[in-house]
Homo-oligomer: A and B are copies of this chain.
Amino acid sequence: MAQKPSIPKGTRDFSPAEMARRNYIFDTIRSVFHLFGYHQIETPSMENLSTLMGKYGEEGDKLLFKILNSGNFLAGVDPNLLNEETFLKLTPQIAEKGLRYDLTVPFARFVVQHRNEIQMPFRRFQIQPVWRADRPQKGRYREFYQCDADVVGSDSLLNEVELLQLIDEVFRRLKIRIAIKLNNRKVLAGIAELIGAPDKMIDITVAIDKIDKIGIEKVNEELSERGLSDESIAALQPILQIDGTVAERLARLEELLRDIPTGALGVQELREVTEQTLALGLDAELDLDVSLARGLNYYTGTIIEVKALDFAIGSITGGGRYDNLTGVFGMPGLSGVGISFGADRIYDVLNGLNLYPEQLGAASQVMFVNFGPTEAAASLKAVKQLRAAGISCELYPDLAKMKKQMAYANAAAIPYVAIIGESEAAAGTLTLKNMAEGTQATLTVAEAIAAIKG
């Protein structure tokens, strides 16, 4: 039965060192969520496929992990479906449940299902894994965590201001320098209308999103290929040339979109959000970017994206405002705004810039050497006292050679080693060795506690 064990591709084991780093990220985000008054919820890993299917487009449906029904899953199934050609039709008959694909659809389902228990506006956060049957590649996994915060039941732009403050605080604590890019879906709609191509908003956005990479000329070529008239492309040029400070960009956009009500409203929203945010102060850079268009089918107002300034990687946080989160579950008109932190990319940034606090990995602050039964009994008494003082520690359980025990302490990055040999046991003391400095001293337990804590 012996076999070399492995894990499914696209999934990961996390070692103690990796867990320490991941917990540092999750704990930071969780603390800030709490500080901003968000309430945590959790939803089941499995949802009914009827909840998940059709919410992520045709491609998304394919990427859902589906769970085979328990027992005889073929009982009662139409025998005509049991062949390769009809597997898509067979699927819902043999699999009723699937693993969640994101935290947004389960949140929408939660809000509708528990609408009578929830107090609006509802500030919720959720930190849980999601699963996607994507082709695994560098930085893309089949199981990964999302960290989402949303406020629903309020259309006040103060929520946007608060979420920008929250993003700023998370990255300030993580010591990652960021730029927060803002846009507004209504501005995008206004631009499309302005240039006489109201049905081409997505084409325009996809094209102008590439302006930094390919330049204006290529963007204009692509717009032409996508069916925009020469007049529309010409009318778009002043938009593409907007630059300067946030205030200058706002003023120029306001001028250009003055006569397009939707666009003007979008600019007004951007103005309110940015002015209030800047008045409160922000460590992050704040940029307006009319090419920003994430989740276009979904967002209806503010669009937010965060980039790390000192590390080349995609967006590390994003979000926006939506007007109809729960409509598909029979509860229309619920407005909200939310953001999602990309824990795996943040992990890559912290690794790349080496921004973790020191000594993140050690479980124990002190390891007691094991010299035999009598000394071990004395050590366990000291261990208990140290733990009562809040110091994590352990006794090496086996009577191994000193060298082996010290090698263990070294490998585990334990900062102190305590020795209770025959003389220490008799005197009621211990010898405390500082592993980094190579110094040691014989101390009472109380003195040792003071030395380790100080």
Contacts and interface: CB of A to CB of B under 8 A. Distances in A.
Interface in A25-46: 34-46
A384 B133 contact: no
A130 to B, nearest CB: 10
Contacts of A114: 13, 15
| Contact-residue bracket for chain A | 35 or more
Interface in A18-69: 19-20, 22-23, 34-48, 50-51, 54, 62-63, 65-68
Contacts of A391: 35
Interface stretch (A153-161, A227-235, A289-297): A153-161
A90 B396 CA distance: 49
B39 A13 contact: no
Interface stretch (A117-125, A205-213, A349-357, A435-443): A117-125
A316 interface: no
Contacts of A6: 48, 113
Interface string A153-187: 01110110110010001000000000000000000
Nearest to A410: B119
Given A2-B329, A392-B37, A398 B44 contact: no
Given A3-B50, A8-B48, A70-B62, A84 B75 contact: yes
A328 B5 CA distance: 10
A14 B41 contact: yes
Contacts of A75: 84, 87
A412 interface: yes
Nearest to A38: B363
A44 B72 CA distance: 27
A42 B68 contact: no
Interface stretch (A188-196, A245-253, A375-383): A375-383
Contacts of A84: 72, 74-75, 77
Interface of A: 1-8, 11-16, 19-20, 22-23, 34-48, 50-51, 54, 62-63, 65-68, 70-75, 77, 79, 82-84, 87, 90-91, 94-97, 99, 109-110, 112-114, 117, 119, 121, 123-124, 129, 131, 133, 142-143, 151, 154-156, 158-159, 161-162, 165, 169, 276, 279-281, 328-330, 363-364, 367, 370, 376-377, 380-381, 384, 387, 390-399, 408, 411-412
